[in-house]
Structure 1
């Protein structure tokens, strides 16, 4: 846990030094997220998949979050970046599947509306793990756009999702790290890249 938290905090600090560079802030905050959650299972031959690892991590965080810090963090920002991200079709994977000509995604608009309803229901019920799952599904699409070269640095196009994504990670990552630090005896998984002398 100490190594994970140390690494995550170092990347959060680097992100904070980026000023108005939302692209860089987002990338550094995503690295902080990876430092906090990544499990060595991801590097084994048969991995559960990144989404399943997210869900495991979110479930653990929420179970240990007796003070509802995650819910409060999202609620306080709901009218801003979280709501805007959830309404943004450009970070919805089926939108891109359809626009890239992949069969079976002609109904992306219905899926988008259904996803928005599912998010609203999870939020109203206080199902924080599910809320995080919806949010990080969108953030993962944004992560792929940036990290895999599907966007231009500091482009005027689609700035909203980069700004909102960086803002969301910026308020969630310190909350995640705080919960981890409050639960140091919890099994947070073994980092695959330990410090080796």
Structure 2
């Protein structure tokens, strides 16, 4: 059973108890997850659909500014709900290879691009990169899931911006490693996030962007 089928089956069974805003948020996130799963031959498109699913899960109407701060706050919330350490287990035992490779890829490291684009203050990007690798190793050892996710989604956000802002060529041969790994990471984690959210519909997840308005 696909993640979409599993989550949709669960959602249908318990959605009558969802607050309306939360129900809309989950419905939208699962719908985009299903679309992403059908993109088996195009990782660029799959990545964008998985990111939309993630965005549907975390974005809130009152927070149009500060998107990175918003999804970091969301990650903090889902980690707090993860009493059985499903996210950590996914990072450590279920999916460690692509995550390590992704975090060791300078092409999704923001300071590298700041330096490359001539922004002052980033001549030390290599030192920052080395520090980030040590920080990741320490977070793994300490089971610090929030730090791991924060680092990971900072890198995923760089990849997201490359695509959304036209900074990459579709199906390009020069960015396959990060696109392959980034897509696989989102495919692995986003369903876990949605599942954890459905464990706690009573939490304040905020009002979703663009609620359904009757004509």
TM score, norm. by length of structure 2: 0.87
Is structure 2 residue 31 aligned with structure 1 residue 14?
Answer: no
Question: Deviation at 1:78?
Answer: 4.4
In the other structure, the counterpart of 1:192 is 209
Structure 1 distance, partners of 2:95, 2:31, is 27
The one of 55, 67, 80 aligned to 1:34: 55
In the other structure, the counterpart of 1:145 is 162
Question: Deviation at 1:55?
Answer: 1.8
In the other structure, the counterpart of 2:177 is 160
Question: Deviation at 1:77?
Answer: 4.2
What are the Cα deviations for residues 113-151 of structure 1, in whole angstroms up to 9, with x where unaligned? 111111111121111111110000000000000110000
What is the SS of the residue equivalent to 2:62? helix
Structure 2 distance, partners of 1:110, 1:19, is 37
Paired residues in the alignment total: 193
Unaligned runs of 5+ in 2: 1-21
What are the Cα deviations for residues 51-88 of structure 1, in whole angstroms up to 9, with x where unaligned? 22122111110111111111111113443210010000
Question: Deviation at 1:42?
Answer: 2.2
Contact 2:60 2:209 in 1 (8 A): yes
Structure 2 distance, partners of 1:30, 1:192, is 15
Q: Which has the larger radius of gyration?
A: 2
In the other structure, the counterpart of 2:15 is none
Contact 2:62 2:207 in 1 (8 A): no
TM score, norm. by length of structure 1: 0.95
The one of 50, 61, 82 aligned to 1:65: 82
Unaligned runs of 5+ in 1: none
Structure 1 distance, partners of 2:209, 2:168, is 29
Go from structure 1 to structure 2 and tell me whether the alpha carbon gap of 1:103 and 1:120 turns closer, same or farther (over 3 Å shift): same
